[in-house]
A and B are shown apart, each in its own frame.
Chain A
């Protein structure tokens, strides 16, 4: 039984114009779906991070991703914590839609990665597990559609 009815619908019906926390909401909802539908990918993500907490910055939303034994918890990062990844929602959407390749985004500084090589390798490896989970989890297309709408709304404002 998919938890999409419980989580996805809640995400979709949440205040439609809250673009300030759009990435956090998308990330939290997607992790919940992966946890429910593709637990082995969720576990792979945790093990590949290997207890590393990382910070990502998307459109100024600075999120701390904190792996615990069973879950990837998401908190608000402090200003002092340097992000391992910094980009925009527009780039995220372009990557997810296949309109932009990761290498191109890096070369054009549309997505920046910064950190120790071992951290970057672990982060990339965990990201791959996350993406595999996204493809397998039910309801992800609707979450993406919602996130795409939030990014579009932010772009227009």
Chain B
């Protein structure tokens, strides 16, 4: 893994938060659209780019993903997943008419039909309209940490993958589902932006998750990521990232991080789009019943445990001749515990992890 701005360890995590104007500039420098809006195939077949948002608003979990994929022509899709009162995921995948898409290259933000992401004055304004779920959300998300990016993550049989991340934002606004309007106040949220040229069905898989504490006063948050071969057997790159306040506080990478899967998740699986359930019926999945990443380096140790509770399978026909790739969006509870630079780190909460499988 080659990292541009996440190298090393920051010992000044307690320093003053950056000014809003600096945060605004940092976001604009990292979270811009890499693909031009035009349908020109400038990045080549298989180029993929998506913006991903997760909002945990009390009893609601909302996941929104805007993706642009080069599959012959450019195809634009909005994925919306919603979970209410700890229940099952409900979701929709909508293919968006390219004539109703604006995703200007070099700019932060996009418009996919009635949904859009705008960025101004240091905050994201996210509007989501999902007819299938009778959902309208209007949220303002303020980054609470300095964004980071990880470039050139190795994918075994293709060009590298790239990732810009803001692991902790604060969301305000509302989410309306049918006639029920949910006010969102200071909801912990997550955002990332991915791009790269690769084939679904290639010899790779990923696991990632974020851990934002339920307690808004807790300064810590964590992201775990692992790239592996398609069977999840051989790690290619992995990292456990810890932030304190706005700044990155500690990174465990490579051999400093160890991943373990325990058991297999057993429970109902929500399949999207539903028709893909015909190709992969049943409840078998390789999502672990318990997931753990342990970072250890010298006296520092940090352990992230995640226990899945609900799984949605976003099922994608492979770009390769046959088969499918399944992106598991997994809601659950996490616990983080450890000692970093002599300071105890301990918090828990609800989060969404993602396991890519086949």
A-to-B contact residues, CB < 8 Å: 1-2, 37-38, 40-41, 44, 95-99, 101-103, 127-129, 131-136, 138, 141
* Cβ A132 vs Cβ B274 within 8 A: no
Report which of B71, B274, B282 forms a contact with A98, defined as CB distance below 8 A. B274
Bound Cα distance A41, B322 (Å): 9
User: Assuming A41-B317, A138-B75, is B281 touching A96 (CB within 8 A)?
Assistant: no
Residue of A nearest to B275 (CB): A96
Residue of A nearest to B322 (CB): A44
Closest Cβ–Cβ distance, residue A30 to chain B (whole Å)? 11
B1 contacts partner chain A, Cβ-Cβ < 8 Å: no
Which residues of chain A have C-beta atoms less than 8 A from B276's C-beta? 131, 135
Chain A interface, >50% SS class: helix
B4 contacts partner chain A, Cβ-Cβ < 8 Å: no
Top 9 nearest A-B pairs (CB, nearest first) are A98-B274, A132-B317, A101-B281, A98-B277, A96-B275, A97-B274, A128-B279, A102-B278, A135-B317
B43 contacts partner chain A, Cβ-Cβ < 8 Å: no
* Cβ B324 vs Cβ A132 within 8 A: yes
10 residue pairs of the A-B complex, CB under 8 angstroms, read: A41-B317, A44-B321, A95-B278, A96-B274, A96-B278, A99-B274, A101-B278, A132-B317, A138-B75, A141-B94
Bound Cα distance A1, B71 (Å): 12
B72 contacts partner chain A, Cβ-Cβ < 8 Å: yes
Which residues of chain B have C-beta atoms less than 8 A from A128's C-beta? 278-279
Which residues of chain A have C-beta atoms less than 8 A from B73's C-beta? 1-2, 37
Give the residues from 57 to 100 in chain B that come closer than 8 angstroms, CB to CB, to chain A: 71-73, 75, 94-95
Which residues of chain B have C-beta atoms less than 8 A from A37's C-beta? 72-73
Closest Cβ–Cβ distance, residue A41 to chain B (whole Å)? 7
Give the residue among B71, B281, B282 with the most A Cβ atoms within 10 A: B281
Give the residues from 281 to 337 in chain B that come closer than 8 angstroms, CB to CB, to chain A: 281-282, 315-317, 321-322, 324
